[in-house]
A and B are shown apart, each in its own frame.
Chain A
Amino acid sequence: DIVMTQSPDSLPVSLGERATINCKSSQSVLYSSNNKNYLGWYQQKPGQPPKLLIYWASTRESGVPDRFSGSGSGTDFTLTISSLQAEDVAVYYCQQYYDIPYTFGQGTKLEI
């Protein structure tokens, strides 16, 4: 199984600051035939289901504010929130869909 490891586990940030969350996979999730990274990012607020933010490592889902961006390739990925808003307080998960079983990181809790 591909193990996804996020860092940090929790991230205290101030409003308006930049937040960076890292995700590392135990093996590459880059599919060479189409040059796509099979990596997604999700946001989960308390009492709510997860919400897709980013797919193919860097493609923003429709309706997601442009302060959210994804980067990285192969085994190392980053989710960046350029200027934190109060509504961004949530747990963020990365997920690989390169291979079954699909696996999630352990989550990063963003705190103000």
Chain B
Amino acid sequence: EVQLVESGGGLVQPGGSLRLSCAASGFTVSDYYMSWVRQAPGKWLEWVSVIYSGGNTYYADSVKGRFTISRDNSKNTLYLQMNSLRAEDTAVYYCARTRYYLDCWGQGTLVTVSS
């Protein structure tokens, strides 16, 4: 069964850092594109970042230079390193297997940026 489980969310102060993890099972992360998508409370979905199977990475302008997507093939896990966090980064963060379209999503992890 294909499954994605995010972890690492929590409360962080503005300017702080957090690393999100997304453990995959049932498929190999490095064989697919993998994305992070976030959803602020009561808001719509916002694509954040993607890592291609070849390793190329892309980001939304809102997080470029602050967030870094990566993966550990030995752990079959996707990561999102988030630095210089702002209040507007508060959201549920989802990882998603990406075949262009996003066909499998995790349950999400909540990141709250507040003092």
Contact = CB atoms under 8 A, between A and B. Distances in A.
Nearest to B92: A49
Nearest to A48: B107
B11 interface: no
Interface in B86-114: 94, 98-108
B72 interface: no
Interface string A50-86: 1110011000010000000000000000000000000
Interface stretch (A10-18, A19-27, A95-103): A95-103
A102 B35 contact: yes
A55 B101 CA distance: 7
Contacts of A100: 50, 58
A104 B105 contact: no
16 contacts: A40-B101, A44-B45, A48-B107, A49-B106, A50-B105, A51-B105, A55-B99, A61-B103, A93-B45, A95-B45, A95-B101, A95-B102, A100-B58, A101-B58, A101-B61, A107-B45
B102 A50 contact: yes
B47 interface: yes
Interface residues of B, number: 22
B44 A93 contact: yes
Interface in B18-51: 35, 37, 44-47, 50
Contact-residue size bin, chain A (C-beta under 8 Å from the other chain)? 20 to 34
A103 B94 contact: no
Contact of A104 (B45, B50, B103, B107): B45
A30 to B, nearest CB: 14
A106 interface: yes
B101 A105 contact: no
Contacts of B58: 100-101
A106 B44 contact: yes
A86 to B, nearest CB: 23
Interface in B42-82: 44-47, 50, 58, 60-61
